[in-house]
Amino acid sequence: MIRRLVESVPNISEGCDHKVISKLAAGIDAVQQVVLLDVHFDPDHHRSVFTIVGEPEAMGKALFGLVRDAPQLIDIRQHQGEHPRIGVVDVVPWIPLEGVTMEDCVNSANNLGSRIGQELEIPVYLYEQAGKVPGREKLEIVRQGGLPALANRMKIDQDWQPDYGPSIIHPTSGAIVVGARFFLIAFNVVLQSNDLTMAHQIAQSIRTSNGGLPSLKALSVPLTSRKLVQVSMNLTDFRETSLRQAFEAVKREAKRYQIEILESEIVGLVPKAAWDKTLAHDLKLRPLKSDPVIEERLAQSSFM
């Protein structure tokens, strides 16, 4: 029989409290036919990213449980962090991995979104391939201005009614974005500088929206705990812009400002097709504790 596997990388608005992160991870681990392959958390972004693989039906159970349980431990009203977010569980993508189509993932995203909206009373916005409303398929559009701006749009604009759930922000959970998409690689480059203006200019110059590299989103982030700045990137299609090309673009622009690169990091895991063994050295990657390739990590896991 052909295995049917999906990947999901839910973003959770907690990057400091290890006990909270561990409790949420334990909830994922308790669901059969899913495996939690990686947990990445960052105190400056104040965000955690879980990399989960499993059968579609089991994945739906695991993700619903995460969205249900997280607000018992996290209150969006108390959250402050550098990374954009609109909810306790901020974004939940469905990504086809084996024996599953994008259409299957769109259906799964709708099923999960409907259940979250109805049972948990959290407003749900669909994005990327699952998006239904023209003009708001992109995650950054939904997040624009943060939760207060989304709440205002929801009040005054009929085009910003959620796809599922009530037309009012949940008091402790906020809102959530659920969708279906291709593999995305989250990649951060740390500069040997604390100049946020320069980092912002570098991010602006390399991202797609400003005429830079294709399929690349970028923003500047202050790493307050380290007194450094970072160019934080999303490679939305590594076939169009690779990790190496993204790194070299940052390096080239940083050189214009006489800024050196300290190191880089990958948030979560990458597909095998996006990786080669020289990247760890060439990209000045922070030392890897384990294999960063999703297929290899899955093979090493106990998942059957």
Is the separation of the CB atoms in 189 and 230 below 8 Å? yes
> What's the CA gap between 36 and 7, in Å, rounded?
10
Q: What is the dihedral of CA 24, 30, 36, 38, to 10 degrees?
A: 40
> What's the CA gap between 116 and 96, in Å, rounded?
21
Strands 216-223 and 261-267: unpaired
Is the separation of the CB atoms in 192 and 231 below 8 Å? no
- Catalytic amino acids? 83
Give the Å distances, CA to CA, from 62 to 26, 87, 195: 11, 18, 41
